Amino acid sequence: MIGPLRLVRDLRRAVDLTARRLRGDYEEDEWGFDPAFAATADPLLRFLYDRWWRVTATGTEHVPRAGRALLVANHAGVLPWDATMMATALRRGGLDRDPRFLVLDWAFGLPWASVAIRRCGGVPASPYNALRLLEQDHLVMAFPEGAKGVGKPYGERYRLQRFGRGGFVELALRTGAPIVPVAVVGSEEIYPKLGELPLVGRLIGAPYVPITPTFPLLGPLGAIPLPSRWRIAFGEPIAFADLGPEAAEDRALVLELSEEIRDRIQAMVLANVIERPGAFR
Amino acid sequence: MLITGVSSPLGARVATRLAADPAVEHVTGLDTRRPPGALADTITYVEADLRRGELAGVLKLAAPDVVVHHDIVQFPEPGRSARSLHDLNVIGTLQLLAACGELPALRALVVRGSASIYGSQPDAPAFFTEDLARAGALRTRFQRDVGELERLVEAFARRHPSVVCTVLRLQPVIGATIDTPIMRLFRSAVVPTFLGFDPRLQFVLDQDAVGAVVAAVRTPVRGPVNVAGDGTVSLARTLRRLGKRSLPIAAPVYGPAVAALARIGTLPPLNDDVVRYLRNGRGVDTMRMRRDLRFVPTHTTAEAIDAVALAIRTEHGHGAAA
């Protein structure tokens, strides 16, 4: 008896939820983040986390439970799956926060993708957006390698690219937010980039169009990432509060700190590559 | 004090509020069209075309201490064709400022600008602060107009440091009494949207647009100030709250499709600003409005949309009864 009753109740709840959605009666914050929409991706993300990429996460306790913080991670893998897995790892680690992530501006000109990214908590990677998010005490994920990171060739997959001009350090200094260095290992193997199609890229305005073993050979199926084994390591937070916001004006200091953090993440990446049993095992 | 564009629906409401304010001694209203009857009795109305030189005499006679330049037009109106908008906005402002320069008693100038100056770009900051205007290319005609207009006001402010010059950059104004392409879209049967896009929109309710101008007259601040209801609402959620159907159209054919629907009268004509706004949206930061202008809108963006939804439903109710 209980079974059918529960089914009826669940069904009624689903219908109710849909009706409220259609009336526009749902939450959405000023950034366009839509918690209910983001939750619908959960089952897929859980599957990818547990079964597909068999993620091992360490150091989630280093991420502040409340207040502003900037997560700075290496970036690889053509599509930003690393951000979603970092968020899932934090949720698993008992962190009840919705991290926001800075996404390459270019993605916001794309149909559908732009909408999905924004509803899940992505914002265009502009310093103004990051500043406002941190001032609102959000947890912000940044990938200073940017497009150069996701587009690096397979042979250099574990070598971090230049960290831009250190803009993320400037933000941390200005807002007093601690930086949590993060190393993601495994995203490098999900779309092994063998080459590029620069002409096609220029044609559609994309930063680059990769050639992988499955793309463009298998068409849209090429978007299915390979099932590599992942490790995500959250390092100890680095606090800048004692330096004060004026330090953000000091170019030399900003570049030095940026280099230091890059080195630390590079070391964390290599340590986790060694600790991992194998890329696909 | 003196207000231009006094016969437009919003201009008339600003003038009414100011005329009723005991702190305001006398209101002179300029326009090319007669103001609504009730207002004409409480203010001195002068029929004047801002684009012509006769302005200086009128201003000298009125000798206002505050000038509100409200006659900025984004959309064609009866008697004001699309081709005349640039002249009205830019040449009108130029003439007005020239006349203002000869007023020794002038202490404040409040200009109704537009947040259109920031444009609508997919990769834009989510919330423009006042210092980010003209950072990118000015792409639409109205955007160039307000850009030029603000440059004129800046130059005037530099030459006349004793006059406090405020430019209010309003996000699109909505409300039951407003007749703009966006409001006409909200009233039409379907709203054309860009297939695969769902921009963040931000609005000001009409009464708050009036309130902001009145606040700027009371507390003039130097430079531009963004004016908007709190928060942003996505277009999809806006339409659902309004109970409207969306008609998704693929981006490459959006322009021709919307133009065709406008020709047969299904939709209002949409200019570039509106089309870009419906594709990419825009948000502005309103910290300066709260801190310096000391103005807090009565309605957030979501509440403004709900107020419009209620008004439209009531209109329909009356329509069915009639």
Residue in chain A nearest B279 by alpha carbon = A109
Q: What is the pLDDT of residue A151?
A: 78
Decide if A207 contacts A253 (C-beta within 8 A).
Answer: no
B22-35 tens-digit pLDDT: 988 899 999 988 88
B138/B83 Cα distance (integer angstroms): 19
Pairwise pLDDT comparison (A55 vs A281), residue with the higher score:
A55
CA distance B179 to chain A (A): 24
Q: What is the pLDDT of residue B318?
A: 63
Q: What is the pLDDT of residue B322?
A: 39
Pairwise pLDDT comparison (B299 vs A80), residue with the higher score:
B299
Q: What is the pLDDT of residue A252?
A: 94
Beta strands in chain B (DSSP E): 2-4, 28-31, 44-47, 66-69, 108-114, 164-170, 173-174, 190-194, 200-201, 204-205, 223-227, 233-234, 245-249
Instruction: State the average pLDDT for chain B.
Output: 92
Decide if A205 contacts A98 (C-beta within 8 A).
Answer: no
- Sheet with B108-114: list strands edge to edge: B44-47, B28-31, B2-4, B66-69, B108-114, B164-170, B223-227
Residue B54, pLDDT > 70, answer yes
Decide if B224 contacts B292 (C-beta within 8 A).
Answer: no
Tell me which residue has tokens 């702190």: B23
Q: What is the pLDDT of residue A67?
A: 95
User: Confidence band (pLDDT; 50, 70, 90) for A194?
Assistant: confident
B218-256 tens-digit pLDDT: 999 999 999 999 999 999 999 999 999 999 999 999 999
Instruction: State the average pLDDT for chain A.
Output: 90
Decide if A38 contacts A98 (C-beta within 8 A).
Answer: yes
What residues contact B264, with CB distance under 8 A and at least 6 apart? Answer: none
A111: contact with B, CB 8 A cutoff:
yes
Q: What is the pLDDT of residue B319?
A: 53
Rounded mean pLDDT, A70-75: 95
Q: What is the pLDDT of residue B51?
A: 85
Residue B299, pLDDT > 90, answer yes
Burial class of residue A94 (count of CB atoms within 10 Å of its CB; 0-12, 13-18, 19+): exposed
A278: contact with B, CB 8 A cutoff:
no
A207: contact with B, CB 8 A cutoff:
no
Decide if A202 contacts A28 (C-beta within 8 A).
Answer: no
Quick one: which of B97, B144, B94, B100 has its CA closest to B119? B144
Longest dimension (CA), chain B: 59
Residue B321, pLDDT > 50, answer no
Residue A18, pLDDT > 90, answer no
pTM (two decimals): 0.91
Rounded mean pLDDT, A210-223: 83
A281 CB neighbour count, 10 Å cutoff: 8
Contact between chains at B241 and A112 (C-beta distance less than 8 A): no
Contact between chains at B132 and A128 (C-beta distance less than 8 A): yes
For residue A216, say if its preceding peptide bond is cis, omega within 30 degrees of 0: yes
